[in-house]
């Protein structure tokens, strides 16, 4: 018989290293042709940090994304940005890049204020143009400012770094372990075959609070990928050790989800802007896989009326539990 069930999993997750300093730094230079070079130690391992950091600099400097080049993760030339871990790069390196862009922008504003004869405070930089907020007719192009800077030998270079405000944990585990948190809830529907123990995931809905989604498509990609990794964790992935050695270290005996094992993930991006984040952004990397196994285990329990306390929930475990449950019922009836 096939039985269906639904389950929910929720989580919160601290962004950055727990109760420890974990700063990130960046350099930003605006060149004469208004293109921008960013140097950051941030390693993009496919999550899209390089794209996101370029977007943050573009937004801050009022230039196009295509005019930004990012030189990243080269210990020979880039400043330390810490690890790509703890779902921290958008939040921490994003802030570092934004601060570096702001510090480069100070030079642009100073020069602009001098040329336009207005106070720096009333200037705004957008679309390669410096305008006075009070009188939009007072304006100068970024290109002209860069030319003037070149004339008098000023380089438009900024650096910035950010370290999330944390406080180490005391003996009682009290402190401020993280500067900000991500929140998520996922809902899963499964179908369990009581003859074979096979579990089919029919639907996944994953709602994630990411602060501000700097790149919504990349955020969706993280949510979809994380949920599927979480499904593997729930149903199939298990490292088997024999005398300290991993005996299933290949894809033929350590199974991960294939395209046939999972449904399309419906992601919902929740944007509750984080005041300390770059343009309100937090992180999404790990949060995407944290609630999935919980939601799946709850859905299986909902379908079968049996709780599982050990992952992965394999067909063997399902069949054994169904057998035990049947025997218990039978014994109770016989009694």
Partner 1 sequence: MKLEVLQFELNARKVSVRVKPDATLLDVLREDLDLTGAKRGCGEGECGACTVLIDGMPVDSCIYPALKAAGKNIETIEGLGTEDNLHPVQKAFLDEGAVQCGFCTPGMILTTTALLAKNQSPSEEEVKVALSGNLCRCTGYTKIINAVKVAARNINKL
The residues binding partner 1 (CB under 8 A) are: 45-48, 217-218, 220-221, 223-229, 250-252, 256-260, 262, 264-265
Instruction: Tell me phi and psi for residue 78, to 5 degrees.
Output: -105, 150
Give me the least distance between CB of 92 and partner 1, in Å please: 20
Q: Does residue 286 carry a catalytic annotation?
A: yes
Between CA 275 and CA 160 the distance in angstroms is 18
Give me the least distance between CB of 145 and partner 1, in Å please: 33
- Active-site position among 151, 286, 310, 316: 286
Between CA 65 and CA 219 the distance in angstroms is 18
Contacts of 74 (CB under 8 A, 6+ apart): 41
Residue nearer to partner 1 on the CB measure, 34 or 42: 42
Give me the least distance between CB of 266 and partner 1, in Å please: 9
Q: How does 217-246 read in b/e, with b if 16+ C-beta sit within 10 Å? A: ebbbbbbbbbbbbbbbbbbbbeeeeeeeee
Residue nearer to partner 1 on the CB measure, 144 or 261: 261
Residue nearer to partner 1 on the CB measure, 228 or 293: 228
Give me the least distance between CB of 224 and partner 1, in Å please: 3
Contacts of 257 (CB under 8 A, 6+ apart): 228, 229, 231, 232, 236
Which residues of 77-236 form beta strands (DSSP E)?
123-126, 129-132, 139-141, 156-162, 181-193, 199-209
Give the pair of three-digit tokens for residue 335.
């009694």
Residue nearer to partner 1 on the CB measure, 178 or 233: 233
Catalytic residues: 286
């Amino acid at each position: 018989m096939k039985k269906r069930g639904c389950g929910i999993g929720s989580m919160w997750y601290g962004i950055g290293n727990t109760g420890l300093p974990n700063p990130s730094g960046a350099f930003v230079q605006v060149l004469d042709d208004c293109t921008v070079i960013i140097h950051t130690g941030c390693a993009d391992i496919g999550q899209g940090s390089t794209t996101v950091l370029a977007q943050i600099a573009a937004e801050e400097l009022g230039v196009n994304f295509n005019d930004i080049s990012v030189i990243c993760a080269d210990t020979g030339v880039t400043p330390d940005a810490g690890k790509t871990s703890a779902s921290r790069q958008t939040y921490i390196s994003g802030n570092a890049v934004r601060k570096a862009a702001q510090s480069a922008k100070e030079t642009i504003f100073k020069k602009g204020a001098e040329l336009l004869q207005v106070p720096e405070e009333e200037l705004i930089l957008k679309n390669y143009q410096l305008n006075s907020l009070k009188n939009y007719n007072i304006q100068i192009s970024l290109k002209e400012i860069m030319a003037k800077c070149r004339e008098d030998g000023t380089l438009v270079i900024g650096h910035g770094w950010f370290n999330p405000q944390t406080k180490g944990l005391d003996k009682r585990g009290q402190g401020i372990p993280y500067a900000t948190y991500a929140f998520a809830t996922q809902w899963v529907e499964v179908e369990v075959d009581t003859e074979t123990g096979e579990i089919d995931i029919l639907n996944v809905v994953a709602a994630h609070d990411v602060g501000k989604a700097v790149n919504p498509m990349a955020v969706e990609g993280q949510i979809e990928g994380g949920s599927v990794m979480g499904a593997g964790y729930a149903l199939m992935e298990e490292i088997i050790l024999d005398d300290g050695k991993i005996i299933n270290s290949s894809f033929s005996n350590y199974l991960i989800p294939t395209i046939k094992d999972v449904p399309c993930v419906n992601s919902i991006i929740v944007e509750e802007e984080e005041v300390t984040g770059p343009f309100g952004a937090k992180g999404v990397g790990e949060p995407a896989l944290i609630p999935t196994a919980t939601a799946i285990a709850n859905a299986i329990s909902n379908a079968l009326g049996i709780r599982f306390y050990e992952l992965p929930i394999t067909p063997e475990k399902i069949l054994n539990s169904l057998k035990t449950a049947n025997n218990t019922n039978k014994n109770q009836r016989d009694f």
